[in-house]
């Protein structure tokens, strides 16, 4: 089948927040399938902070995007043509050839998921990368134990909204989150069941964190870095643990983490700070799926998305997510789920 599609290319490296000139929407004809490949019509695209990091020309755990090339990202597509026995026609494939309407994907680089059991977008959120990062970070990197008290930064986003709920469901004594608006603070407490929450824009994080935990806390799940990490080091209890998931406060800035952390407190309190990347913990994938699906099916997990519509929405959706426009997982819906 010969097909013309639209895809976003990387036109200019941004300084600060990505702007329209960062991207170019390109029409192109897709190549014929080779054995082991399939053609997907993307239903939903993921909008993730690491996409911004990949726009900087610096080495990281994923290589930088190259100028002039098509951008890539997580997506779920419906298979509309296949030359792979493992990927049947009509199935749903989770893959990394997002930022475009259709894609030719190597079957081995995708994962077929149960069609229609959950909305396709769940495989980019609660059952996808963010949910998995929340699970691996909390239970392995932070070594969460029932009875721990937990602070989550970036708590109303895709990862953070899962972390707080997972901690409560697993027996945390107190869960507190920070986020960037009054609406998000209400969402954390009223919908996600956080014990307390604060808006980090209302005053110094350190003061608000001390008020939330007058007796200290045990586990910090950090999505933000900077002032959040510095404050947490002050307030954490002895032998406290930090799962360092991300530093979103720095992604649009040339100065990485300008806020100093009191290193002596880390020593004196015997804190453990553990950076992690979710895909290093694939051995947890089965346990994660079983646990989170069971919480979903028993109605114990609340899940929200902020959806933009259509391929043209990509630049605005990414800038919006980076500046806090999303509650829960940011996605771009390209087509309704076919059932
Ligand atoms: P979110 O859904 O949380 O969206 C990003 C949010 O970051 C925004 O909504 C905004 O919320 C917040 N934010 C933006 N700028 C700032 C700032 N200066 N200070 C504080 N908060 C800010 O994204 P994800 O849940 O997908 O990702 C959260 C973090 O997890 C990121 O750091 C990401 O890089 C990391 N991550 C790490 C993985 C890993 O394997 N280690 C895997 C997946 C994600 P607000 O309104 O509250 O400011």
**Per-residue pLDDT tens for 166-187?**
999 999 999 999 999 999 999 9
3-state class (DSSP) for residue 112: strand
Q: From the centroid of its chain, how far is CA 326?
A: 12
User: How far away, in angstroms, is 164 Cα from ligand 1 center?
Assistant: 14
Our CA dihedral for 272, 259, 177, 233, rounded to 10 degrees, sits at: 30
- Residue given tokens 């970036």 in the structure block: 154
Give the chain's mean pLDDT. Answer: 96
**Structural domains of the chain, ranges and CATH numbers in brackets:** 4-124+304-333 (3.90.180.10), 129-279 (3.40.50.720)
- The response to whether residue 128 sits with its C-beta less than 6 Å from ligand 1 reads no
pTM of the complete model: 0.97
Ligand 1 atom, smallest distance to 250 CA: 18
The pLDDT > 90 percentage for the chain reads 96
Q: Is the pLDDT of residue 253 over 90?
A: no
Tens of pLDDT, residue by residue over 127-179, are: 999 999 999 999 999 999 999 999 999 999 999 999 999 999 999 999 999 99
Q: Is the pLDDT of residue 89 over 80?
A: yes
> Minimal CA–CA distance to 2: which of 108, 71, 77, 81?
81
- The response to whether residue 126 sits with its C-beta less than 6 Å from ligand 1 reads no
Taking the C-alpha atoms of residue 312 and residue 101, their distance in angstroms, rounded to an integer, is 10
Taking the C-alpha atoms of residue 146 and residue 218, their distance in angstroms, rounded to an integer, is 11
Which residues have CB under 8 Å from 283's CB, separation 6+?
Answer: none
Which residues have CB under 8 Å from 185's CB, separation 6+?
Answer: 179, 197, 198, 199
| pLDDT at residue number 2 | 74
Residues in the chain: 339
- The response to whether residue 177 sits with its C-beta less than 6 Å from ligand 1 reads no
- The response to whether residue 208 sits with its C-beta less than 6 Å from ligand 1 reads no
């Amino acid at each position: 089948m010969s097909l013309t599609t639209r895809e976003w290319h990387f036109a200019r490296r941004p300084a600060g927040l990505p702007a329209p000139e960062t991207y170019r929407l390109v029409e192109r004809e897709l190549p014929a399938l080779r054995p082991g490949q399939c053609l997907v019509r993307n239903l939903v695209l993921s909008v993730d902070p690491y996409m911004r990091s990949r726009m900087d020309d610096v080495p990281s755990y994923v290589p930088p995007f190259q100028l002039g090339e098509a951008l890539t990202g997580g997506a779920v597509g419906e298979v509309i043509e296949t030359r792979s026995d493992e990927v049947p026609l009509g199935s749903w494939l989770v893959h990394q050839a997002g930022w475009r309407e259709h894609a030719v994907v190597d079957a081995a680089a995708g994962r077929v998921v149960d069609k229609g059991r959950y909305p396709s977008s769940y495989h980019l959120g609660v059952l996808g990368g963010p949910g998995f990062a929340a699970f691996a970070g909390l239970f392995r990197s932070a070594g969460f134990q029932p009875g721990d008290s937990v602070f989550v930064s970036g708590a109303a986003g895709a990862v953070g909204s899962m972390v707080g709920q997972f901690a409560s469901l697993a027996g945390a004594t107190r869960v507190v989150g920070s986020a960037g608006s009054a609406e998000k603070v209400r969402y954390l407490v009223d919908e996600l069941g956080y014990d307390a929450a604060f808006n980090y824009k209302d005053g110094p994080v350190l003061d608000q964190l001390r008020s939330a935990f007058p007796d200290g806390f045990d586990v910090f799940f950090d999505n933000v870095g900077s002032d959040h990490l510095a404050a947490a080091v002050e307030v954490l209890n002895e032998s406290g643990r930090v799962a360092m998931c991300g530093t979103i406060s720095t992604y649009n800035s040339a100065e990485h983490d300008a806020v100093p952390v009191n290193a002596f407190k880390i020593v004196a309190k015997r804190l453990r700070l553990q950076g992690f990347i979710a895909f290093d913990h694939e051995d947890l994938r089965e346990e994660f799926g079983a646990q989170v699906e069971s919480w979903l099916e028993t109605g114990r997990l609340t899940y929200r998305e902020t959806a933009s519509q259509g391929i043209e929405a990509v630049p605005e959706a990414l800038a919006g997510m980076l500046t806090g426009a999303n509650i829960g997982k940011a996605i771009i819906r390209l087509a309704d789920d076919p059932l």
